[in-house]
Structure 1
Amino acid sequence: MKLARTDKIVLTGAAGLVGQNLIVELKSQGYSNLVAIDKHAHNLEILRRLHPDVTVVPGDLAEHGEWETTFRGAACVVQLHAQITGKFPEEFIRNNEQATRLVLDACRRDAVPYLVHISSSVVNSVADDDYTNTKKAQEKLVVDSGLAHCVLRPTLMFGWFDPKHLGWLSRFMEKVPVFPIPGHGRYMRQPLYERDFCRCIVKCIETQPAGAIYDVCGDTRVDYVDIIHTIKRAKGLKTWVVHIPYGLFRLLLQIYALFSSKPPFTADQLKALTAGDEFTGVDTAKTFGVNQTPFEQAIRESYCDPRYAHIVLER
């Protein structure tokens, strides 16, 4: 089914990192009938302020509610909601599995013709944690749903609005005279620029590949320590980058988590960082017609762009 620019597109978890960037991209390509569902009041307010023309629907997807009525007449649903960090397994089960069951039920009830599901590269990972396990379960729910769909599995993402990951590291580096690196820091990453990924999502919305699963990676392989130096260079910072023993770094994260309900970087994420995963993704230029932005340019756009670089979501 070929979509018109006025067809209704519903985004779940729309106030999060991918959702905020995707709305910018969809609007830039002329899509005008967008419905954004999320439960995070602060981040929804940011979305309302930036996009008064978007229909904003507050709703907890893990509970039945008025949000379920928004799927009527939708030409496509983009499923973005996910619990990424947290201290308790129940949070991940509730927001990655239970919420997805209710969304899929609503899609079937209203005969939504197509679903784009945003999974994660962690489903291919050697990591064994609550996020990885519930993202695997979430993806299986979609594949077994009976709905026409495709699945995209992005690697670590960065870009506008980022409250975690490289965005948090960028802001932390501005505030401290010394920036710690765990161990030698030579942990290979394949960071994916949000704007590039969102262009891939839009192509899937338009072409509606049947049952396709795409691993989408940043096409630059770069060590963690070099990412830090690239951010430092792009922002013109004088921060001293120092290496500390891995065990000490992990202990400090564990201590910090005792006093923070939403730690920006957890011991599990440190373990995933150093796990040695290397992902093989599709050629985004051939598959989606998306030539990826050079890494250093993408870092500058993410953290120096006057339009959105100063806007940070809450975790």
Structure 2
Amino acid sequence: MSKIDKHVKLVLTGAAGLVGQNLVVELKAQGYDNIVAIDKHAYNLKILHDLHPDITVIEQDLAEDGSWTDAFSGAACIVQLHAQITGKFPDLFVRNNIDATQRVLDATRKHGVPYLVHISSSVVNSVANDDYTNTKKAQEKLVSESGVQHCVLRPTLMFGWFDPKHLGWLSRFMAKTPVFPIPGDGRYMRQPLYERDFCRCIVRCIENQPAGDAYNIVGDTRIDYVDIIRTIKQVKKLRTPIMHIPYGLFHFLLRVYALFSGKPPFTADQLKALTAGDEFHGVDTERVFGVRQTPFVDAVRESYCDPTYSGIVLKR
């Protein structure tokens, strides 16, 4: 039984990012009509506003004090989506994953918002040791110790509409390049999670408000990286040949590319994470949230062949 109706105010932080863009689509599809979206990324926020002129958008930086905190007044729920995922400097991760989160929690307490859904990451359970992983662990600790009623969702690698990196970037790269490179044999098991399925889980948490629970949300499909690439090639009907490159050479090329790119779409650290051998165990989303996950091939087809959203790409 839902604890809130569909006309209450919902505030999404980091709303113009990948999850936020998909979540707004899902919330509106389910009848929610009082959505406030806060983000500092002007280009991506304009995409969100152009697609959904009926929602309230606020362009401000959560890591700085500002009038954005006024939007928390009267809210029934905060969905905390903001995150620094990639970057060359540790300070970026601290600023956007830790400092911004502290301000959001302060505003949540100040305005007496009764519930918060925190979007964490499966990396908090990972063997990885990098700026993203470490600050996401610290961010989750801030939430758990905040005194705010909340739940935590930890998704694995996600894909879907609007994606400027990960599978979205690989999909577009495959359509342009004469040859698609794969590190080593490509037999690196992944558990990709479809954004729309994840957003449906978020909506259930908004409605049912589990108290303090943390959920690992994992894609149902266990699939090797090379087979993900083959699936994308199949659904997009591409003829791009796939070439296997020795791991060491691939790693070197990524490091060289990063010297000339301010925001490399795929980094040496991400290659290391790809091959780390992590296996994640998640909840049964159908049993816990009533969300039956979309078959992988169908999800890839929706992501990269949809006439409305597949051609819209966010900036990083």
Q: The TM-score by the shorter chain falls in which range? A: over 0.9
Aligned residue type for 1:167: G
Letter in 1 for 2:29: S
Aligned pair 1:174/2:175, yes or no?
Answer: yes
Do structure 1's residue 56 and structure 2's residue 52 form an aligned pair? no
1:185-216 deviations in whole A, cap 9, x for unaligned?
00000000000000000000000000000000
1:65 alignment partner in structure 2: 66
Please tell me whether residue 98 in structure 1 is matched to residue 96 in structure 2.
no
Which residue is equivalent to 2:89? Answer: 88
Amino acid at match of 1:227: I
Match status 1:260 vs 2:261: yes
Q: Tell me the residue number matched to 2:133.
A: 132
Within 5 Å, give how 1:97-176 maps onto structure 2. 97-176=98-177
- Name 1:206's counterpart in structure 2: 207
**For residues 174 and 67 of structure 2, what CA distance do their matches in structure 1 show?**
42
Deviations 1:191-244 (A, max 9, x none): 000000000000000000000000000000000000000000000001010100
2:26 matched residue in structure 1: 25
State the number of aligned residues: 315
- Per-residue CA deviation, residues 32-86 of structure 1 (Å, 9 max, x unaligned), is 0000000000000000100000100011000001111110000000000000000
CA drift at 1:165? 0.3
Mapped pair 1:224 → 2:225: yes
- Which amino acid is 1:289 matched to? G
TM-score, normalised to structure 1, is 0.99
Structure 1, gaps ≥5 residues long: none
Q: Which residue of 1 aligns with 2:5?
A: 4
The amino acid that maps onto 1:290 is: V
Residue 286 of structure 2 aligns with which residue? Answer: 285
Q: Structure 1 stretches (4+) deviating beyond 2 angstroms? A: none
TM-score (norm 2): 0.99
1:255-279 C-alpha deviation (Å, 9 max, x unpaired)? 1111111111111100000000000
- Structure 2 alignment gaps of length 5 or more: none
